[in-house]
Amino acid sequence: MKVKVQYLLWLAQKAGVSEEFVDVEENSTIAGLLEKLIKIKPPVLADVLKGVLEGRSDIIVLHNSRTPLKGLLTSLKDGDTVTLIPPVSGGSDLNL
């Protein structure tokens, strides 16, 4: 089955694409998808994804535009979308 993966902001640079379709096994989870991506993507992105799996990353993972209820153990279906969003920093120069 195919799952769409979206990489936002600087993750797209590390992935070399902003989105792609990835073949995964039936009954795959988000964790299984990340494990597959670690094997096929450049090391600079693989290291970031390892951090997500190990719980030491601020990357936000969305499943079909929502927070996955079972976290990385959420099951995937054909046509699902997994979005990876890096932390965004910034601020205001306003002195309130």
Q: What is the pLDDT of residues 60-69, one digit of tens each?
A: 999 999 999 9
Helices 43-53/30-40 angle, 10° precision: 160
**pLDDT-above-90 percentage for the chain:** 90
Top-tier CATH class for 2-85 = alpha beta
pLDDT computed for residue 90 by the predictor: 62
**Helix ranges (DSSP H) in 1-96:** 10-15, 30-40, 43-53
The phi and psi torsions of 28 (rounded to 5 degrees) equal -70, 155
All structural domains of the chain with their residue ranges: 2-85
Integer-rounded Cα Rg, in Å, for the chain is 14
Say which residues have a Cβ less than 8 Å from residue 80's Cβ, sequence separation at least 6. Answer: 3, 4, 63, 64
With bands split at pLDDT 50, 70 and 90, how would you rate the model's confidence at 3? very high
With bands split at pLDDT 50, 70 and 90, how would you rate the model's confidence at 52? very high
Region 75-87 average pLDDT: 97
